[in-house]
Structure 1
Amino acid sequence: MPNVSPFHIAIPVHNLDECRTFYREVLECEEGRSSDHWVDFNLFGHQLVIHFKPKKEAAELHHNPVDGHDVPVPHYGVVLPWETFQTFAKQLRSKGIEFIIEPYVRFKGQPGEQATMFFKDPAGNALEFKAFQDMGQLFAK
């Protein structure tokens, strides 16, 4: 099945204004439609919607071991072109992003070799951005 269409994801945030600023100014996503309870963003050509949800007791973030790191579950993000990833990682560093997993190359020399990084938005949602020098490796076993 060809993957030519953008995806849509909606995530809960308990601090709409703070997250709106984060996605617009830190991640530099173009803002689209909005209301008092949600905001659309263009996340590298995909539709991300942040929806207000009142904060409940903080849920413990689960982690799974991957390549010697504790990968947060759940998480979401985008696969970027290699150069875009490198530029984006530098921009995030310059803006003081606190990484859960610093940008690095995972599975080096193996099928699925990829650059990856993890960090959280102000609502605690874990984000992963990754890149492949060879996009043919995206689903390599």
Structure 2
Amino acid sequence: MSLSPFHLAIPVYDLPSARRFYGEVFGLEEGRSSEQWVDFNFYGHQLVIHEQPRTDAQTDAHTNPVDGHDVPVPHFGIILEWSQWQALAERLKSHGIQFVIEPYIRFKGQVGEQATMFLLDPCGNALEFKAFKDMNQVFAK
């Protein structure tokens, strides 16, 4: 399956802190920028952080129960190859990231088994990174 790159623009209330987080912690390549926004290459996709006042979702995130965990809503992320996911989990741990949901295997032994982890950026935006041992199960029921 051929995927087209997505474009996602998210609010950040502390642009310098968010810029360091996505650039240094994740090691994302920076693209164009201005005094109010910065483009990043987010695993081949365009992530843009836009400065704006703090939002309610950044202050008090809603959660929904999934597999015994409280998953923050809204959230975004990417599905990585298994080894990439493991490397990212180690990178984030080495940077002292506090996880909302620690890296673990969700739906173990079931259809859709996946590795997942949730964290917040410095401005409270929730991110999820996941990997499937069997990529054919990404949309499996």
TM-score by length of 1: 0.95
Residue 19 of structure 1 and its aligned partner are, at CA, apart by 0.3
The separation in 2 between residues aligned to 1:75 and 1:4, in whole angstroms, is 20
Match of 1:82 in 2: 82
- 3-state DSSP of counterpart to 1:33: strand
1:12-68 Cα distance to aligned partner (Å, 9 max, x none): 000001100100000110000000110000111111000000235664210000000
Match of 2:107 in 1: 107
| Matched residues, number | 140
1:99-132 Cα distance to aligned partner (Å, 9 max, x none): 0000000001111100000000000000000000
The separation in 1 between residues aligned to 2:103 and 2:54, in whole angstroms, is 29
RMSD: 1.2
Identity of aligned pairs, percent? 64
Match of 1:66 in 2: 66
- Going from structure 1 to structure 2, the CA distance change for 1:81 and 1:56 (only over 3 Å counts) comes to closer
Does residue 1:15 correspond to 2:14, yes or no? yes
The separation in 2 between residues aligned to 1:80 and 1:117, in whole angstroms, is 12
Q: Which runs of 5+ in 1 are unaligned?
A: none
TM-score by length of 2: 0.95
Q: Which runs of 5+ in 2 are unaligned?
A: none
The separation in 2 between residues aligned to 1:25 and 1:77, in whole angstroms, is 17
